[in-house]
Structure 1
């Protein structure tokens, strides 16, 4: 079992690295999903996610989640062949949490070098928790 701390990691890069490792058969737990960042201007990102959210409904059409843990899982799902057996099995090996759950407090979490945002220190970015709050999530 691998524990990844999402604090300060870029969403797309984290999702692609996670998807690759899931397809290799690893069991992955991502903690601190609300601290994952999305690069870009705040206004543009919030408009983009609001458009995704209002595109469909839960009953009909594409449903897009509000909570940060579900958004991360949905992003990873988009990088897996989830309509095939291999992708469904890989996605079942993923757990995403807001904060740090009690059972994972003593585990050592890794932070992949490729997904860190040190290069974005002067650029604009938004944390996933802010996006979720904007969409109406309570976590």
Structure 2
């Protein structure tokens, strides 16, 4: 059985974390990401929201392309874009990724890996949480 790594995405830069996860998935590692809604994107809020809205509106209701609104699915699609999905290795790698909103009950006691090299604390720029982008696109969090 493969070892599963649990990564906490709180206050990490989404693109940098996604690229690191994609590399590890291609090496055959199983990864679970928790607190995906707390990942951040660096930049001006207006520009980021405008960009995501244009991308989301590009899709057709019935014919696609279908873009996600939920934060954990946006995160998973970001990782998917960094994998070679045309190869068998890339297709299999995405199946070894689980992304969760918050921390599920079965992972409460698990040791969380907090990658310091992807933290947004060191960057002195404006950031937008993935949760805010999702709410702007129409996602309603369930309590």
TM-score (norm 1): 0.96
Q: Which of 116, 126, 134 does residue 124 from structure 1 map onto?
A: 126
SS in structure 1 of the partner of residue 33 of structure 2: strand
TM-superposed deviation, 1:119: 2.0
- In the other structure, the counterpart of 1:109 is 112
Tell me the distance in 2 between the aligned counterparts of 1:95 and 1:23. Answer: 15
Deviation string, structure 1 residues 26-65 (Cα, Å, up to 9, x no partner): 0000000110000000000000000010001253232110
- In the other structure, the counterpart of 1:30 is 33
- In the other structure, the counterpart of 1:100 is 103
TM-superposed deviation, 1:129: 0.2
Q: 87-96 or 57-66: which moved more?
A: 57-66
Question: Are residues 106 and 82 of structure 1, via their aligned partners in 2, closer, same or farther at CA, if it must alter by over 3 Å?
Answer: same
- In the other structure, the counterpart of 2:11 is 8
Tell me the distance in 2 between the aligned counterparts of 1:52 and 1:106. Answer: 37
Gaps of 5+ in 1: none
Tell me the distance in 1 between the aligned counterparts of 2:29 and 2:119. Answer: 21
Q: Which of 53, 62, 65 does residue 62 from structure 1 map onto?
A: 65
Tell me the distance in 1 between the aligned counterparts of 2:90 and 2:79. Answer: 11
Which consecutive segments of 4 or more residues in structure 1 shift more than 4 A?
none
Tell me the distance in 2 between the aligned counterparts of 1:85 and 1:54. Answer: 31
Q: 107-116 or 5-14: which moved more?
A: 107-116
- In the other structure, the counterpart of 1:39 is 42
TM-superposed deviation, 1:102: 0.4
Gaps of 5+ in 2: none
SS in structure 2 of the partner of residue 119 of structure 1: coil
Q: Does 1:138 align with 2:140?
A: yes
TM-score (norm 2): 0.93
